[in-house]
Amino acid sequence: MRAIFGPPLQNHRYPGDDVKQHFLARPFQLLTGVILGLAGVFLILRPGANETEVDPKQYVLSDPLPAPIFTLTSHRGEPVSSTDFPDRLLAVFFGYTFCPDVCPLTLSNLSLAFQELGEAATRIQLLFISVDPGRDTPERLGQYLAAFNASFVGLTGAEEEIREVANAFGVFFARSGEGEDYTVDHTARTFVIDPAGRIPLTFPVTATPEEMARDFTLLLGEFK
């Protein structure tokens, strides 16, 4: 199943890239040190660090990008297209269920953001695209995502299909290590697609649930 339209986004820089360009998933020990160190530097050096007011559009793009249109298979075995949700925001994240660090961190933060949004969260659909289709069976995807939020939808397909979608978003992923316990290095960024078919917002792995809920609220206010 293959349906991808729209220009690739490989060379675009996003808000948060000054903290860490396209944060790649790595072993947890390295990740924790890097996040804490960079977050500290960012908080100290960023303009207005001592001010109480927070920029409400920290991760909103000044010029929204055209979103790729794609179709993959859900963890329920059904074809799902990015155009199947005309009245919702889509939050698209590439990851895998064996991920030891940034995937559960991101999904936990998104789940907490959804809780903070309350009823408004029903207007957002999370699509988790597996970059490890060999191990991420539909059943495993469903069980994994249900542990975070019952509304989250897992998407899978043949590896070449997933790679084509990833390339359209400018997302990198590559297997690291040998044997059954390999990991997958991958871009850790959440792409938000609005009902107009644009990407007006992306979240780096360092985004907090409060920041996510704040920016989701801003976008939802534009599409009532």
Identify whether 187 is part of a domain: yes
* Cα torsion angle, 224, 201, 113, 53, sign: negative
Identify whether 49 is part of a domain: no
Identify whether 203 is part of a domain: yes
- Please give the pLDDT value at position 55: 53
- Please give the pLDDT value at position 179: 84
- Please give the pLDDT value at position 56: 53
- Please give the pLDDT value at position 60: 86
Identify whether 9 is part of a domain: no
- Please give the pLDDT value at position 50: 36
pTM score, two decimals?
A: 0.78
Identify whether 193 is part of a domain: yes
Identify whether 195 is part of a domain: yes
Range of the domain at 98: 28-41+57-222
Looking at residue 66, which CATH number applies to its domain?
Answer: 3.40.30.10
- Please give the pLDDT value at position 164: 97
Please list the ranges in the chain whose pLDDT falls under 70: 1-57
Q: How far apart are CA 7 and CA 68, in angstroms?
A: 7
Exposed / middle / buried, residue 166 (Cβ in 10 Å: 0-12, 13-18, 19+): buried
Number of domains observed in the structure of the chain: 1
Identify whether 106 is part of a domain: yes
Q: Which amino acid would we find at residue 168?
A: A
User: DSSP class of residue 60?
Assistant: E
Identify whether 14 is part of a domain: no
